[in-house]
Structure formats: C-alpha cells, structure tokens
C-alpha cells in the first residue's frame, strides 16, 4: 500500500484526479471503476476541469460503478446513477453506453448480481478502481461481516451506514435498506486501486484498514493484500495513523 499524505480535501481531490488522468492518458480505453459518496465529488470536478481544458478525452473510456441502492431508479435524484450523471458523466464526453451501474430496479437479485459480474468480465476487468471508505471501513457497500463476499451481491445496509447516508435524504426513513454492490473479490481483481479519504470521521477506518488485521469486520483491510493500492488521504483522515507512529 502506498499512502500519499495530503493537507486537505482540495489537495486530495487534485492528486486523485491527477492519478485518474494519468490512467486515461496512458490507456484511452481504460476501464475505470467509479465510486459515489461525498468524497469523490471534488475528484470528479477536477477531472471535468481537465476535460474542459482539453487535457482529457473520455470517448473510449468505459466505466463500472461500485454500487447502487436497491429500489431506486436512475432518474431518482438519490440514486447513484443520478449522482454519476450529475457529478461526472453529463460534463465529459464519456459515452452513456460505456457506463455501467447495477440496476437498482431489478427485483431479481440473483439475476442482477450475475448480470453485473458478467458486465465486469466482458469489460475485461477494471484497470483503476476508485474507492471511498465508509466510517465503519466499508468499501462499495461491503459492510462489516463474517466473511468477504467475492462477487456482486445484495446487502442489507447497517444502521451506521443508513445514518451516515441519511444526510442526502429528506428523512432517514427514505434511505433504502438494501443495495447492490460489487464484492470485495470484484474490487480486488482491479489492476490498481485508488482509495481516497478525507476528514476526522474516517481516521479510525483508515488506520484499521491500513495497519490493523485483515478481517471482514473491516472490509477495506483486505486492500492490504493487493499489490497495487494507492491511498490519498488528508491530515485529518490520517490522524490516527500518525498518533500511532505508523506513518
């Protein structure tokens, strides 16, 4: 794991966007694994700026998002499909047919999970997977549990996650209880992984993920077993790593 320390959210966003931009320049038809949440918004904004400056071309880029709420349609403004459209896809020249997100409206869980796994394998796997991290160490929607799940699956969200994500909804009751997510196996199959973290609320998750035991109780800890992981995190997110003299 390579930990890149930055000062704050704006610097994290610039550095992360530079790494993704390098991937796009090196491989114009790369498969990007994309993430949602508040953390990547600045990264996407920096990518849009680079696109507007004529530095990036997304026309051959393909993408696969980590997750989607079960029960939300792509035009629901709380869905991750809507998030991706408004925060990135609508502002760059990526082709809509090159973008992939689990279908939150598919009620047939087995069918949707199989479909999404086959989408990822038809793409030839992910070149660079962008990840945020939940306060409890989740990646995508792989919640703390007894075992690492390999493929796409449907998860029951923990109360922690529902509470953390309630800020995007009018009331906590509107937060969906289930989501489709790539499994840790899908994530670990990416050729390179870029995890971004900002703020004090992520300090414990970052510390445990990078320096604690590898355990499904902290899903992001499995990243320690991947040979090509970059973590771009700011001072607040790295505060526990620092006080424990790990960095």
Catalytic: 67? yes
What is the DSSP secondary-structure string of the chain?
-EEEEESSHHHHHHHHHHHHHHHHHH-TTPEEEE--SSTTHHHHHHHHHHHHTT----TT-EEEESEEETT--TTSTTSHHHHHHHHTGGGS---GGGEE---TT---HHHHHHHHHHHHHHTTS-SEEEE---TTS-BTTB-S-SS---S-EEEEPPHHHHHHHGGGSSSGGGS-SEEEE--HHHHHTSSEEEEEE-SGGGHHHHHHHHHS---TTSGGGGGGG-SSEEEEEETTTTHHHHHTT--
Of 100-119, which residues contact ligand GLP (CB under 6 A)? none
Catalytic: 76? no
Among 16, 20, 66, 155, binds ligand GLP (CB under 6 A): 66
Q: Which region among 33-41, 82-90, 96-104, 169-177 touches ligand GLP (by CB under 6 A)?
A: 33-41
Q: Which region among 36-44, 100-108, 116-124, 203-211 touches ligand GLP (by CB under 6 A)?
A: 36-44
The residue to which tokens 């004090």 are assigned: 200
Catalytic: 127? no
Q: Which region among 5-13, 127-135, 185-193, 218-226 touches ligand GLP (by CB under 6 A)?
A: 127-135
Judged by beta carbon, residue 14 or residue 27, the one nearer ligand GLP is 14
Judged by beta carbon, residue 132 or residue 176, the one nearer ligand GLP is 132
140 binds ligand GLP (CB under 6 A): yes
Among 33, 102, 104, 132, binds ligand GLP (CB under 6 A): 132
Among 13, 23, 36, 209, binds ligand GLP (CB under 6 A): 36
Binding positions for ligand GLP, rule: CB under 6 A? 35-39, 66-67, 132-134, 140-141, 161, 165
Residues carrying an active site annotation? 67, 136, 138, 143
């Amino acid at each position: 794991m390579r930990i890149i320390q930055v000062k704050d959210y704006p610097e994290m966003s610039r550095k992360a966007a530079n790494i993704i931009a390098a991937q796009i320049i090196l491989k114009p038809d790369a498969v990007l694994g994309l993430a949602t949440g508040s953390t990547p918004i600045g990264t996407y904004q920096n990518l849009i700026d680079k696109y507007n400056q004529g530095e990036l071309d997304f026309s051959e880029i393909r993408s696969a998002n980590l997750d989607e709420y079960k029960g939300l349609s792509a035009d629901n403004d709380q869905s991750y499909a809507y998030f991706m459209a408004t925060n990135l896809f609508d502002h760059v020249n990526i082709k809509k047919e090159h973008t992939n997100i689990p279908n939150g409206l598919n009620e047939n869980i087995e069918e949707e999970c199989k479909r999404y796994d086959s989408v990822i394998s038809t793409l030839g796997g992910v070149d660079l997977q962008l990840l945020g991290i939940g306060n409890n160490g989740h990646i995508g929607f792989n919640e703390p549990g007894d075992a690492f799940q390999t493929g796409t699956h449907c998860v029951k969200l923990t109360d922690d996650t529902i509470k953390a994500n309630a800020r995007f909804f009018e009331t906590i009751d509107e937060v969906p209880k289930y989501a489709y997510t790539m499994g840790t196996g899908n994530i670990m199959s990416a050729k390179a992984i870029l995890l971004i973290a900002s703020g004090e609320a992520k300090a414990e998750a970052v510390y445990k993920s990078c320096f604690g035991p590898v355990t499904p109780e902290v899903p992001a800890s499995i990243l320690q077993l991947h040979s090509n992981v970059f973590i771009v995190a700011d001072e607040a997110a790295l505060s526990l790593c620092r006080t424990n003299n790990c960095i």
